[in-house]
Structure 1
Amino acid sequence: MSRTRSALRSLLPDPGPTRALTLSTLVRTTGRGLFFTGSALYFTSPSVGLSGPQVGLGLTIAALVGLFAGVPSGRLADVIGPRGVTIVFLLVDAVALCGYTLVRDFTVFVLVACAYSFFESGSNASNQALIAGSVEPERRVRTRAYLRSVTNLGWSLGAVLCGVALAYGTREAYLALIFGAAACYAVGALLNLRVPSVPPAPKVSSGPVWIVLRDRPYIVLTLLNAVLCMCYTLLTLALPIWIRDQTSAPPAVYAILTLINTVAVLLFQVVASRGSATVAGAARAQRNSGVLLLACCVLFAFSAGQGLTPWIAIAFLVAGTMVHVGGELLQAAGSWGLSFELAPQHAQGQYQGMYGTGYQLAQVVTPVMSTLLLSGWGWPGWIVFGAAFLLAGLAVPVAARWAERTRPAEPVPAAA
């Protein structure tokens, strides 16, 4: 019995700031899952009247706007404190979600989507700075791993709740879905009040303000991480289309693959993050991630082999998904260790904003690349993606050592 209780306690987040951050994340990501699971159907419903291409174009424009929010929002968090910035940005995002109820044409849709994307990106940067400032350095990666597991749980809960609205399919049901998601954002924002307030970073006596823009090794690591982050959109966007158009497996098998991914991240992200709290350990995790992502791409390519029975194709897809999960877990763990450990303490906000921009860049670029490579080339497209993952992973340790060698000493705070 004592062993069982000990095992259960090990699955809980650490008490204090980590537990408060976890609760806030769970509520907020439930709202994200609630809205985004049914958003495409809502936007293309008769009550809104947008076409599929319009939705895709609008979301791409919004994602590009979001690219420019991370660094200035992180800088704002450094100057006035990350907790307040995070709360305000999340509350504004709740309002932006409500703005989707007013959409009747493409122009309004783009404006609302851009507002949502900008403040979502900004809140992510300030929230990372809040983690850096409220959690002990040796626990940051572990905390971030908990939050990612909880994010998957929240998305799953939101998706289940969204199914109720989709079963009705009326405008009223969609509006209830949107307002429910906005309420989750607002409650999640306010739950951050349970996190201890982090004071603004002290002003420094000299040196540039936007130091991350001059930190070439860190920018290189951001871009390498962006390449590895393409694995997420490949799984969520490219793989279901690949299964339908290029393999003999039934499209419904994608639901099983999604379940495998979700459960694995929920159960194993914390375990996979062990050893990634140092720069060397984090770089090693991302290197290994590149190797695993190459292997998963090869397995996905094999799923379209000539004359394969549906069961063999399914076997390749399941194997590829399981290997993908390993690469995804290590990519995430390595990204947290590198982004936290290589950022100066007085500029965690702008550094986290820069590093998060790599993930957003991947979300913008991957749909286009997957269309060109996978839809246009077929299975060789997977090999190209796999080679990119491998090269990026192998380059991370080199770039990380460069970054360690060039870390400047922490600046002296300016006199009051």
Structure 2
Amino acid sequence: MKKRFYATGLSDAVGLGMYLSLSVLFFDKAVELPNAQIGLVLSVAGITSLLGAMPIARAAERFGTRTVLTVLFLARAAAFLALSVSHSFVAALLASAVAGVLSRGISPLIESELIAQATGKEAVGALARLRSLRNAGMAAGALPSGAAIAIGEPWAYRGVMVLSAVLFVGCALISRTFGDSGHTAGSAEGGPSRVSVLKDRVFLRITALYGALTMSALVLGLGVPLWVVQQTQAPAWTVTLIQVLNTALVVVLQVRVSRGSENLGTARRMMRRGGLLSALAAVLVPLTAFGDAGTDLALVVAAALLFSLGELYIISGTTGAALLHIPEGRKTAYLAAFNLGFAVTTVVGPPLITASVGWDVWGWLGWGVYFTVVGAVAMRVPAPLPAGAGPRRPVGSAA
């Protein structure tokens, strides 16, 4: 059964990889939107992605993960087919908004089903393997997109969207073979709801740490490329090189690095280590102002490696800590809430990062301080309550 979950996650990632690596050019070359409208379409998709996760998780608890996943994948396929035939701003905006609502709800459902019956150590390993596969899938999705870009014709861009839709239909078919472990009487009657998750203050702290620390991935993916092309003598292809390095390290090392994160002490240290590695990487970037092309290339690659290693420890530590604090039978809703940490970061992070690049050395030193402080805060994540100790006190409850 687990192979089906991995196959679904991989296929989903390939389809998303096609879209993410092509979206801006698709709206430019195929739909022929001006830059301002492209930015608006992408912003609306990002905002709507924050709205769907918790309602989707609640629906899965009520109607069963298999049913909801099947409907979601079919709806996503329909949205991508609508994108493939879009010829106007309104059509592109509506299709992207629908796809955005679905985007943050699907992954937590796959994750919760994958680890439904797993112990702490098994769950950590399973999620790490899924993440490695998804990163490989995202990279694979860039290949047909690259072919479409090379062809340069609108029909090629639209064809990639159709191919993505076909993959999502395939995911829906696989989802129909899943069991419905998330559909229980307890979840349908008085089980985990959005309110109960959002009142779990300890889990919300871990979710906030997850979002704050994973800012490092956006700094690497957005801030470093902007710095490379605007402020260094490193060749432009360095941007592609650091993306390849990051993907390769995640695929090869994520499972290995995650080992032991089912222990809270280890998870805390992983988060701190990830923050410190990211801080060191951030401080290393502005040194490129003092070198030649070769030196700049070496420094950027070194920073990219540090950021990538930091990301591995951050994901492992935050995931391990989160799993320890998820009550039994509540994986779907809690994982949906946890994933919102990074979702919020993808909305608020880009403007902060692009602005900081303009602050030169001070911007990078600021990121160094930021990651150091957040990593230190992670050491204060409290231990989960022992079994049978009763429910955690919600936010705002009386002492």
Aligned: 1:50 with 2:33: yes
Aligned: 1:129 with 2:103: no
Aligned: 1:146 with 2:134: no
Query: Alpha carbons of 1:129 and 1:109: their partners in 2 closer, same or farther (altered >3 Å)?
Result: same
Query: Alpha carbons of 1:404 and 1:229: their partners in 2 closer, same or farther (altered >3 Å)?
Result: farther
Distance in 2 between the 1:124 and 1:396 partners?
Answer: 25
Deviations 1:109-167 (A, max 9, x none): 22211110111111123223222315444311111111111112112221112222222
Distance in 2 between the 1:196 and 1:383 partners?
Answer: 50
Distance in 2 between the 1:195 and 1:394 partners?
Answer: 41
Decide whether the 8 Å contact of 1:74 with 1:129 is kept in 2: no
Q: CA deviation at 1:330?
A: 0.9
Deviates more, 1:278-287 or 1:118-127: 278-287
Deviations 1:154-197 (A, max 9, x none): 12221112222222121221121111011112212322344443
Q: 1:176 aligns with which of 152, 156, 159?
A: 159
Which residue in 1 is equivalent to 2:287? 302
Which residue in 2 is equivalent to 1:358? 341
Deviates more, 1:122-131 or 1:187-196: 187-196
Query: Alpha carbons of 1:263 and 1:407: their partners in 2 closer, same or farther (altered >3 Å)?
Result: farther
Unaligned runs of 5+ in 1: 1-15, 412-416
Query: Alpha carbons of 1:197 and 1:135: their partners in 2 closer, same or farther (altered >3 Å)?
Result: farther
Q: CA deviation at 1:243?
A: 0.3
Which residue in 1 is equivalent to 2:395? none
Residue identity opposite 2:285 in structure 1: F
Residue identity opposite 2:242 in structure 1: L
Q: CA deviation at 1:407?
A: 9.4
Residue identity opposite 2:247 in structure 1: T
Q: CA deviation at 1:237?
A: 1.9
Which residue in 1 is equivalent to 2:206? 221
The aligned runs of 1:212-291 (5 Å cut-off) are 212-291=197-276
Aligned: 1:409 with 2:390: yes
Decide whether the 8 Å contact of 1:212 with 1:350 is kept in 2: yes
Which residue in 2 is equivalent to 1:41? 25
Distance in 2 between the 1:408 and 1:161 partners?
Answer: 53
Q: 2:320 aligns with which of 317, 337, 345?
A: 337
Deviates more, 1:340-349 or 1:145-154: 340-349
Decide whether the 8 Å contact of 2:85 with 2:158 is kept in 1: no
Query: Alpha carbons of 1:76 and 1:400: their partners in 2 closer, same or farther (altered >3 Å)?
Result: farther
Which residue in 2 is equivalent to 1:11? none
Query: Alpha carbons of 1:408 and 1:181: their partners in 2 closer, same or farther (altered >3 Å)?
Result: farther
Which residue in 2 is equivalent to 1:387? 369
Query: Alpha carbons of 1:240 and 1:76: their partners in 2 closer, same or farther (altered >3 Å)?
Result: same
Aligned: 1:86 with 2:69: yes
Distance in 2 between the 1:408 and 1:58 partners?
Answer: 48
Residue identity opposite 1:192 in structure 2: S
3-state SS of paired residue (2:61): helix
Distance in 1 between the 2:191 and 2:10 partners?
Answer: 39
Aligned: 1:27 with 2:11: yes
Decide whether the 8 Å contact of 2:53 with 2:102 is kept in 1: no
3-state SS of paired residue (1:104): coil
Deviates more, 1:102-111 or 1:280-289: 102-111
Distance in 1 between the 2:390 and 2:108 partners?
Answer: 23
Distance in 2 between the 1:134 and 1:192 partners?
Answer: 18
Decide whether the 8 Å contact of 2:84 with 2:159 is kept in 1: no
Distance in 2 between the 1:408 and 1:301 partners?
Answer: 50
Q: CA deviation at 1:73?
A: 1.6
Distance in 2 between the 1:100 and 1:372 partners?
Answer: 31
Query: Alpha carbons of 1:187 and 1:136: their partners in 2 closer, same or farther (altered >3 Å)?
Result: farther
Aligned: 1:120 with 2:116: no
Distance in 1 between the 2:56 and 2:389 partners?
Answer: 23
Decide whether the 8 Å contact of 2:211 with 2:341 is kept in 1: yes
Q: CA deviation at 1:211?
A: 0.6
Distance in 2 between the 1:207 and 1:171 partners?
Answer: 48
Provide the aligned C-alpha RMSD in A. Answer: 2.2
Decide whether the 8 Å contact of 1:20 with 1:191 is kept in 2: yes
Which residue in 2 is equivalent to 1:156? 139
Q: CA deviation at 1:199?
A: 4.2
Decide whether the 8 Å contact of 2:105 with 2:336 is kept in 1: yes
Residue identity opposite 1:385 in structure 2: W
Distance in 1 between the 2:309 and 2:239 partners?
Answer: 18
The aligned runs of 1:99-110 (5 Å cut-off) are 99-110=82-93
Q: 1:400 aligns with which of 364, 373, 382?
A: 382
Distance in 1 between the 2:280 and 2:150 partners?
Answer: 39
Decide whether the 8 Å contact of 1:91 with 1:186 is kept in 2: yes
Query: Alpha carbons of 1:171 and 1:282: their partners in 2 closer, same or farther (altered >3 Å)?
Result: same
For normalisation by structure 2, the TM-score amounts to 0.91
Residue identity opposite 1:409 in structure 2: G
Q: CA deviation at 1:294?
A: 0.5
Decide whether the 8 Å contact of 1:125 with 1:356 is kept in 2: yes
Distance in 1 between the 2:337 and 2:35 partners?
Answer: 31
Residue identity opposite 2:273 in structure 1: N
Residue identity opposite 2:318 in structure 1: S
3-state SS of paired residue (1:71): helix
Query: Alpha carbons of 1:309 and 1:20: their partners in 2 closer, same or farther (altered >3 Å)?
Result: same
Deviations 1:238-278 (A, max 9, x none): 22111011111122111111111111111111101101123
Query: Alpha carbons of 1:58 and 1:407: their partners in 2 closer, same or farther (altered >3 Å)?
Result: farther
